[in-house]
């Protein structure tokens, strides 16, 4: 077998038989992560609030803001497979008033969004890491954002009613440093924990916003879920077993300028 074929086999089978939970797996990014894991012969578990539980199909109804729901989801996976190789913290719950201008954000909404997103990430990591510590292996990928790294460029919203929610930047910035903390804490147990920070992902947004964004980003286009999913899969694989505590930015060059 030549080197090219060997490399292709490594890529195709890099997640073979690994049991990987993806929260919010029915969403735009989550669906791409599920497909990527399956394409690399992994066992993808979609933990999402909007689907009925059918473990044979890899689906578990899960509300990440509810402790009992998290416990139930993890127990179902362990009962079925006896292990958890990977976790992708991707779910993105938010309040109905998400997206208000900064001056208009009620403090209770701010608190609720931090609780729904950041605290749920903490809780699921804590529960999963107890399992991975006993196993002495595992990988976690937290999905953050470029806006956890740099401040928003509000000019891309000119001509639209869109804005960047303040809580989003606070949550994603905290998530990145929280990832460094748990990576340091659990490294001795053969667990690697990283972040992926996407730039703007195209999702049929306001055309003016898309045009403004494309003009700024060096690669002159918004990202797609398929731009992000291969890196997430790589970080879950044994090929990345010595990579931990890192924040991998996938943004078409946005943060380079």
What CATH number is associated with residue 239? 3.40.50.720
Residue 257 placed within a domain: no
3-state secondary structure of 95: coil
Token pair 């002159």 is found at 220
Q: Closest by alpha carbon to 22, among 77, 98, 68?
A: 77
Residue 55 placed within a domain: yes
Supply the pLDDT for residue 3: 43
Residue 105 placed within a domain: yes
pLDDT at 2 over 80: no
Q: What band does 13 get if pLDDT is binned at 50, 70 and 90?
A: low
Supply the pLDDT for residue 7: 43
Residue pair 246/195 in contact by the 8 Å Cβ criterion: yes
pLDDT at 77 over 60: yes
Residue 64 placed within a domain: yes
Share above pLDDT 90 across residues of the chain, in percent, rounded to a whole number:
94
Task: Please tell me the total number of residues recorded for the chain in this structure.
Answer: 257
Residue 126 placed within a domain: yes
- Mean pLDDT to the nearest integer, 229-244: 97
Residue pair 34/231 in contact by the 8 Å Cβ criterion: no
Is 213 a residue of the active site?
A: no
- Count the domains in the chain: 1
Query: Tokens in use for 138?
Result: 């595992």
Q: Give dist(CA 88, CA 92) in Å, integer.
A: 12
Catalytic residue among 92, 168, 186, 213: 168
Residue pair 106/118 in contact by the 8 Å Cβ criterion: no
pLDDT at 175 over 80: yes
Q: Give dist(CA 255, CA 149) in Å, integer.
A: 8
The rounded mean pLDDT for the chain is 95
Supply the pLDDT for residue 11: 54
**Given strand 43-48, what is the order of strands in its sheet?**
59-61, 43-48, 19-23, 86-89, 138-143, 191-198, 247-250
Supply the pLDDT for residue 49: 96
Query: Tokens in use for 46?
Result: 């979609």
Supply the pLDDT for residue 14: 87
Q: Give dist(CA 183, CA 220) in Å, integer.
A: 34
Which H or E run contains 22?
A: strand 19-23
pLDDT at 174 over 70: yes
Residue 3 placed within a domain: no
Residue 162 placed within a domain: yes
- pTM given for the model: 0.94
For residue 108, the enclosing domain spans: 11-249
Residue 256 placed within a domain: no
- Measuring CA to CA, how many Å separate 13 from each of 39, 87, 95, 170, 236? 8, 18, 39, 37, 12
Among the listed ranges 9-18, 51-60, 73-82, 125-134, which one has the minimum average pLDDT value? Answer: 9-18
Among the listed ranges 4-13, 86-95, 126-135, 156-165, which one has the minimum average pLDDT value? Answer: 4-13
Question: In terms of C-beta distances under 8 Å and separation of at least 24 residues, what long-range contacts does 76-84 make, across chains too?
Answer: 77/19, 77/21, 77/45, 78/131, 80/55, 81/19, 81/43, 83/19, 83/135, 84/19, 84/20, 84/21, 84/128, 84/131, 84/132, 84/135, 84/138
Query: Tokens in use for 163?
Result: 């804005």
How many helices (H) and strands (E) are present in the chain, helices listed first? 8, 7
Q: What band does 37 get if pLDDT is binned at 50, 70 and 90?
A: very high
């Amino acid at each position: 077998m030549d080197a090219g074929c060997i490399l292709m086999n490594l890529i195709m089978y890099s997640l073979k038989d690994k049991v990987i939970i993806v929260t919010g797996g029915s969403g735009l990014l989550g669906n791409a992560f599920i497909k990527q894991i399956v394409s690399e012969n992994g066992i993808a578990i979609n933990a999402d609030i909007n689907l009925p539980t059918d473990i044979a199909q890899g689906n578990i109804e899960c509300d990440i803001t509810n402790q009992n729901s998290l416990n139930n989801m993890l127990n179902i996976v362990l009962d079925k497979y006896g292990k958890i190789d990977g976790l992708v913290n991707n779910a993105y719950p938010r309040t109905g008033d998400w997206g208000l201008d900064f001056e208009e954000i009620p403090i209770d909404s701010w608190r609720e969004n931090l609780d729904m997103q950041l605290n749920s990430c903490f809780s699921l990591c804590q529960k999963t890491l107890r399992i991975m510590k006993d196993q002495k292996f595992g990988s976690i990928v937290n999905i953050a954002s470029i806006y956890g790294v740099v401040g928003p460029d509000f000019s891309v919203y000119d001509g639209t009613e869109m804005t960047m929610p303040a809580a989003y930047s606070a949550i994603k910035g905290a998530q990145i440093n929280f990832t460094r903390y748990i990576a340091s804490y659990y490294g001795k147990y053969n667990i690697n924990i990283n972040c992926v920070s996407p730039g703007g992902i195209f999702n049929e947004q306001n055309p003016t916003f898309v045009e403004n964004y494309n003009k700024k980003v060096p690669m002159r286009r918004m990202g797609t879920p398929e731009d992000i999913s291969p890196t997430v899969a790589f970080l879950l694989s044994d090929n990345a077993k010595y990579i931990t505590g890192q924040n991998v930015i996938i943004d078409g060059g946005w943060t380079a300028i």
